[in-house]
């Protein structure tokens, strides 16, 4: 009898048992602005009681109800916008999210309830969840030169860094650099400045070919000896230093080795001529900063030993790949040495006592117009003397001379524009005319003194 009782209880439990499974169809990451449909599938042998959709917020500590279905009243009620269409909720519940934004990113839950067979006062519940990943394409991209403006150095190479700033992307975009349309092979480095500095000028031993443009035979010999001082320089006449066609004859002795290993900087009219490889190493580093809305700002830096001979007029581009973009996003700059600055003077006819402003209005038109990158540094000097305030030079795009005296008539002012790629200057002469008002006041003052003396 006891066994019979146990079997009856088990059969009763099997009869009253209801099964309910709930799953939400997975979704790939979506792009901000797309329309998304969340699908909740459920299977049950019971009678449906309700379906509730939640958006999980605040890290899971809060849930916002966005859609409900109540079988008792056979009604749909949406907590979203009014224009969301009514859905068939027999075996699948769908929620449509139009034009998703970054705040729609996060977990969603679908809760389904069915009536218990033993009592309609009891409800069996099951749920499923999904995390909606909303991607945001980058909003902006720009390329700047780090640590600029900077002076031009004729005597040693400088490290130069391009910085590409990409904002607004989620997830973080992939950033890379190109030179003249060709992808740059980079060396990852946490400290690109130190890496480029440690490589130094003698790195050309490891890279060929040498810069051969506009180098005569003498410069070539000195360049080779500078790069490889342990290797005997190549003689153009194939004669050893200790040999001579006529021993003791004046001017017939071969050049001494000491003259071949002295480092020399070859300077042209416009650019220096350092002994550098035409295939420099490019060091790459990047940082990421996450904003409160989940989007990222990426700063990618490209550092190398600048060679004004080869890098002037070179086109560098920063390109971005992102899953929310159909094609790469890019920004580009052309490295360019300054042309001669164009100067303007106000007033155009300066008189004694006037305040004179000499300003840079642009650059002389070159092959690519007035574009100069990076931004040059402007320095003002007075030829053969100090500036009016007693200083030797002043920086800025405008030079202000207050209450110019007659002694400055005919003085020459030089404006030098320079960036790491080159330096150039423009001169302008200040002509100071007599000021009739000041002359009249001076005569009246002298007349009063004369009468008082009488």
3 state DSSP class of 8: helix
Chain segment 396-447, per-residue pLDDT in tens: 999 999 999 999 999 999 999 999 999 998 999 999 998 887 765 554 544 4
Chain segment 365-388, per-residue pLDDT in tens: 654 545 789 999 999 999 999 999
Q: Is the peptide bond before 209 cis (omega within 30 degrees of 0)?
A: yes
- Taking the C-alpha atoms of residue 448 and residue 444, their distance in angstroms, rounded to an integer, is 6
User: Is the model's pLDDT at 136 over the cut of 50?
Assistant: yes
Pick from 116, 118, 138: nearest CA to 48 = 116
Residues forming a β-bridge with 394: 380
Q: Which helix (H) or strand (E) holds 446?
A: helix 436-453
pLDDT (0 to 100) of residue 239? 37
Contact at 8 Å (CB) between 211 and 309?
Answer: yes
- First-to-last C-alpha distance (Å) of the chain: 152
What DSSP character marks residue 230?
T
- Of 153-162, 165-174, 402-411, the range with the lowest mean pLDDT is 153-162
Which tokens belong to 189? 């480095």
pLDDT (0 to 100) of residue 20? 85
Residues forming a β-bridge with 142: 165
Contact at 8 Å (CB) between 427 and 414?
Answer: yes
Residues forming a β-bridge with 5: none
3 state DSSP class of 247: coil
User: Is the model's pLDDT at 175 over the cut of 90?
Assistant: yes
- Residue 112 makes CB contacts below 8 A (sequence gap 6+) with 20, 22, 40, 42, 44, 48, 50, 51, 93, 125, 126, 127
Residues in the chain: 454
Contact at 8 Å (CB) between 444 and 178?
Answer: no
pTM of the model: 0.66
pLDDT (0 to 100) of residue 12? 46
């Amino acid at each position: 009898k006891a066994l019979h009782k146990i079997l009856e209880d088990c059969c009763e439990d099997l009869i009253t048992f209801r099964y309910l499974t709930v799953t939400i169809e997975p979704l790939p990451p979506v792009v901000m602005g797309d329309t998304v449909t969340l699908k909740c599938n459920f299977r049950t042998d019971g009678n449906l009681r309700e379906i509730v959709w939640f958006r999980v917020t605040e890290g899971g500590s809060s849930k916002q109800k966005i859609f409900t279905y109540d079988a008792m009243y056979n009604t749909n009620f949406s907590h979203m916008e009014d224009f969301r269409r009514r859905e068939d909720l027999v075996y699948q519940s769908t929620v449509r999210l139009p034009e998703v934004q970054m705040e729609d990113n996060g977990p969603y839950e679908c809760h389904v309830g069915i009536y218990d067979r033993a009592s309609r006062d009891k409800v069996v519940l099951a749920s499923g969840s999904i995390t909606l990943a909303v991607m945001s394409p980058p909003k902006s991209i720009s390329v700047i030169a780090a640590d600029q403006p900077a002076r031009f150095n004729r005597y040693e190479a400088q490290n130069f860094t391009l910085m590409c700033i990409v904002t607004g992307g989620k997830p973080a975009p992939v950033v890379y650099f190109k030179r003249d349309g060709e992808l740059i092979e980079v060396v990852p480095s946490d400290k690109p400045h130190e890496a480029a500095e440690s490589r130094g000028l003698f790195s050309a031993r490891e890279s060929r070919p040498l810069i051969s443009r506009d180098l005569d035979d003498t410069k070539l010999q000195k360049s080779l000896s500078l790069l490889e001082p342990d290797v005997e320089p190549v003689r153009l006449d194939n004669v050893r230093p200790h040999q001579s066609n006529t021993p003791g004859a004046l001017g017939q002795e071969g050049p001494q080795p000491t003259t071949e290993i002295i480092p020399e900087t070859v300077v042209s009219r416009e650019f220096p001529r350092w002994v550098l490889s035409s295939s420099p190493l490019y060091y790459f580093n990047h940082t990421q900063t996450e904003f409160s809305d989940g989007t990222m700002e990426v700063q990618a830096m490209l550092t190398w030993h600048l060679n004004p001979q080869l890098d002037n007029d070179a086109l560098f581009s920063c390109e971005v790949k992102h899953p929310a973009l159909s094609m790469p996003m890019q920004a580009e700059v052309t490295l360019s040495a300054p042309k001669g600055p164009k100067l303007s003077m106000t007033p155009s006819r300066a008189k004694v006592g006037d305040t004179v402003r000499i300003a840079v209005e642009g650059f002389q038109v070159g092959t690519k117009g007035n574009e100069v990158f990076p931004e040059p540094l402007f320095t003002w000097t007075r030829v053969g003397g100090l500036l009016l305030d007693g200083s030797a030079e002043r920086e800025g795009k405008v030079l202000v001379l207050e209450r110019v005296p007659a002694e400055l008539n005919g003085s020459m002012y030089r404006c030098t524009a320079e960036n790491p790629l080159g330096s150039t200057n423009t001169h302008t002469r200040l002509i100071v005319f007599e000021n009739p008002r000041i002359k009249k006041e001076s005569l009246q003052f002298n007349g009063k003194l004369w009468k008082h003396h009488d």
